Chain A
Amino acid sequence: LAKTTQPISMDSYEGQEVNITCSHNNIATNDYITWYQQFPSQGPRFIIQGYKTKVTNEVASLFIPADRKSSTLSLPRVSLSDTAVYYCLVGDAGPSNDYKLSFGAGTTVTVRA
């Protein structure tokens, strides 16, 4: 499994842009990069996924450089409700078509008024 490294915590204020960078130096050719968001007392939920370059949806943008050894999740104009833990995952199906991912500790983003 490709190992990921991301900051433990980040603080921001309402209306600001939050960028969380994840390092994944040993990413494999077939691996995709996926981000999940988790609110207190809930299970994680999918935010965005990409393979290379840039992906944007209604929630966030994901920037992936050409070497794919890192990725940056960008949350535009955050609000208090964006306070959550954000997880970066890298992986794809294994040789036996199994598929297992571990989430790590994630990045706790705290948005203040």
Chain B
Amino acid sequence: DAGITQSPRHKVTETGTPVTLRCHQTENHRYMYWYRQDPGHGLRLIHYSYGVKDTDKGEVSDGYSVSRSKTEDFLLTLESATSSQTSVYFCAISEFAGGPTGELFFGEGSRLTVL
């Protein structure tokens, strides 16, 4: 299995508080992604990174920010959590961009509940 660790795995917080989820990889892969998964919506891309300090928005980026100061860590921050951000968050990594070598490897997910 790919070396991907998400932390925390479970978190309960209150509306308006800041939350940071961490994704740590030991594979030295260039690309990292944050997805959220909600019933009926599958996985939706929040933000992704194609290198250190290189990030871009996905389809549901409002209310989220990311940072990648080193290859192995990709942080997802909710500046002021809302109940609509209650979800399961998955981090993924890939070594290459697409094609036959662009396989995504996923972490085990972080379940966030915003009360």
Min CB–CB distance A20 → chain B (angstroms) = 14
Min CB–CB distance B45 → chain A (angstroms) = 5
The yes or no answer to A10 lying at the interface (CB within 8 A) is no
Question: Is A100 within 8 A of B33, CB to CB?
Answer: yes
B94 / chain A contacts, CB cutoff of 8 Å: 99
The yes or no answer to A97 lying at the interface (CB within 8 A) is yes
Q: Point out the residue from B44, B58, B109 that lies within 8 Å of A43, measured CB to CB.
A: B109
Question: Is B42 within 8 A of A104, CB to CB?
Answer: yes
- Chain A 72-111 against B: per-residue CB contact (8 Å), 1 yes, 0 no? 0000000000000101000111101111111111100000
Interface size on B, residues (CB 8 A): 29
Interface size on A, residues (CB 8 A): 29
A69 / chain B contacts, CB cutoff of 8 Å: none
Residue contacts A-B, CB under 8 angstroms, 29 given = A30-B98, A32-B98, A32-B102, A34-B102, A42-B109, A43-B92, A44-B43, A44-B106, A45-B106, A49-B103, A51-B100, A85-B42, A92-B99, A97-B50, A98-B48, A98-B50, A98-B56, A98-B97, A99-B48, A99-B94, A99-B97, A99-B102, A101-B104, A102-B44, A102-B45, A102-B58, A104-B43, A105-B40, A105-B42
Instruction: List 14 other contacts, CB 8 Å, given A46-B103, A46-B105.
Output: A32-B98, A34-B102, A41-B109, A42-B109, A43-B108, A44-B90, A44-B106, A85-B42, A91-B98, A92-B102, A98-B97, A100-B48, A100-B56, A105-B40
